[in-house]
Amino acid sequence: MHAQIRIGDSAVMLVDEMPEWGALGPKSLKGSPVTIHLYVDDADAFIARAVKAGAKVTMPVDDMFWGDRYGRIEDPFGHHWSVGTHVRDVSMDEMQQAMRQMTG
């Protein structure tokens, strides 16, 4: 009827789509506003492994202005995941300058 996975010290309950019980997935609902974010040791390797298991890259892993290597995927069931690996500390001034450059 369901499964449970552990992410760190947290448990996440999973169930197949069962409309008769009101359990609908993102594909039936035409999307989801939820993104699950994970910090991992190696974002590149994590996303490569997810793609081999059927995930689709929605944002390739890249170095981000806030100091993480970061990317996003959609799993085969339509759930969105973001994945990050912290690679460097960035000061608030550096972050604000990078954000200003992005907005022109």
Please give the backbone phi and psi of residue 72, each rounded to the nearest 5 degrees, phi first.
-135, 150
Reported in sequence order, the residue ranges of the chain that DSSP labels E, i.e. its strands, are 3-7, 10-14, 35-39, 56-63, 68-74, 80-86
Report residue 38's pLDDT band, with 50, 70 and 90 as the boundaries: very high
Determine what percent of the chain is predicted with pLDDT higher than 90.
63
- Cβ–Cβ < 8 Å for 42, 14: no
Query: Which residue has better confidence, 10 or 57?
Result: 57
**pLDDT number for residue 102:** 82
Give mean pLDDT, residues 60-80. 95
Give counts: helices (H), strands (E), the chain.
2, 6
Q: Does the structure show a pLDDT above 90 at 20?
A: yes
Q: Return the residue matching tokens 């969105």.
A: 80
Q: Does the structure show a pLDDT above 90 at 59?
A: yes
Bridge-based pairing of strands 35-39 and 80-86 is: parallel
d(CA 101, CA 8) in angstroms, rounded, equals 36
Query: Which residue has better confidence, 48 or 7?
Result: 48
The helix/strand/coil state of 46 is: helix
**pLDDT number for residue 98:** 86
